[in-house]
């Protein structure tokens, strides 16, 4: 399959999290992923977008940009915000760590992204924002089983 790309940009509102999940999943569908692969992608996107809304913009208005790219059987997702940035990326990646304990969130966002995707890269600069880059190889089990796409 040749490469393909798409870009989404939307307001940092919790109500847009579902839109982001569904849009990215719909774009990924052209790779004929399994239901588990789609669920992994949707969960990773949810976590990244929610982090941007809650931590990046701290519930203030801002923009979130999602860039998706397909190259062969590789699916790339980049989630970008221009919020407050992450002070300590290594600490933020630790299980159960959260800067907002009052919200009773689990502090597992980056852990989930890492578990559900094949690679995770976090780039952040204080007061400039955060970029989360994820990659997932789609196994195309339907093709392997000889089923038509």
Decide if 142 is catalytic.
no
Measured CA to CA, the distance from residue 144 to residue 25 in angstroms comes to 21
Helix (H) or strand (E) holding 10: strand 4-11
What is the pLDDT at residue 23?
A: 98
Rg over CA atoms, the chain: 16
pLDDT at 146 over 50: no
Centre a 10 Å sphere on the Cβ of residue 75 and count the other Cβ atoms it contains.
Answer: 24
- pLDDT tens, residue by residue, 27-72: 999 999 999 999 999 999 999 999 999 888 987 899 999 999 999 9
Centre a 10 Å sphere on the Cβ of residue 145 and count the other Cβ atoms it contains.
Answer: 7
Decide if 51 is catalytic.
yes
Alpha helices (H) in 35-108, listed in sequence order:
35-51, 89-92
* DSSP letter assigned to residue 126: T
The model's pTM is 0.86
Phi, psi of 136 (to 5 degrees): -140, 130
Measured CA to CA, the distance from residue 43 to residue 51 in angstroms comes to 12
What is the pLDDT at residue 104?
A: 56
Decide if 93 is catalytic.
no
Measured CA to CA, the distance from residue 8 to residue 18 in angstroms comes to 13
Of the candidates 73, 76, 69, the one whose C-alpha atom is nearest the C-alpha of residue 44 is 76
Of the residues 17, 21, 51, 114, only one is catalytic, namely 51
Of the residues 105, 135, 139, 140, only one is catalytic, namely 105
């Amino acid at each position: 399959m040749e490469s393909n790309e798409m870009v989404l940009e939307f307001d940092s509102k919790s109500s847009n999290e579902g839109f982001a999940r569904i849009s990215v999943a719909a774009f990924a569908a052209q790779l004929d992923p399994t239901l588990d692969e789609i669920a992994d992608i949707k969960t990773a996107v949810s976590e990244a977008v929610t982090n941007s809304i809650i931590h990046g913009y701290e519930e203030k208005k801002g923009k979130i940009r999602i860039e998706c790219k397909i190259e062969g059987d590789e699916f790339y997702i980049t989630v970008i915000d221009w919020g407050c940035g992450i002070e300590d990326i290594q600490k933020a990646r630790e299980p159960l760590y959260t800067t907002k304990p009052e919200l009773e969130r689990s502090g597992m966002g980056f852990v989930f992204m890492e578990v559900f995707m094949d690679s995770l890269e976090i780039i952040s600069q204080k007061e400039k924002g955060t970029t989360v880059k994820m990659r997932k190889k789609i196994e195309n089990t339907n093709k392997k089983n000889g089923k038509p796409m």
